[in-house]
Amino acid sequence: MFAIVEAAGKQYKVTEGSLLQVDCMLAPVNEEVAFDRVLLARKDGEILVGRPYLENVQVKGRVLSVGKGKKVIVFKYKPKVNYRRKRGHRQPVTLVRIEKIEIKGA
């Protein structure tokens, strides 16, 4: 059983018990979160496809930690004019453990 969910403008394939690292969700640690934007779900060989989302499917998870992702280096350079700018960025991320994929009416 798996599902494809949309979170923070990105799509993720999730299964029960999997870990999901999404962009900052502003949820405290150990809080239960629900993903309502489910694009596709598969259970026992039956595939449900949403147009664009499935209304009777919900993915529930629990926030494990809130932190920062890997550092991305941004380096601007212009030749012959001695222009160099080096900056780093760490995107805030939330680590979620998927606990349950609920399909209502099935």
Q: How many domains in the chain? A: 1
Non-local CB neighbours of 15 within 8 Å, separated by 6+ positions: 1, 2, 3, 98, 101
How much is the average pLDDT of 43-59?
91
Q: Is residue 80 part of a domain?
A: no
Residue 14: burial class (beta carbons within 10 Å; 0-12, 13-18, 19+) = buried
Domain annotation covers residue 74: no
Structural domain range at position 18: 2-66+93-103
Chain centre distance of CA 29 = 16
Q: What is the pLDDT of residue 106?
A: 59
Q: Is residue 54 part of a domain?
A: yes
Please report whether residue 43 resides in a domain: yes
∠7-10-16 over CA atoms, to 5°?
55
pLDDT (0 to 100) of residue 105: 72
> What's residue 26's pLDDT?
87
Its pTM stands at: 0.82
Listed residue (89, 37, 103, 26) closest to 63, CA to CA: 26
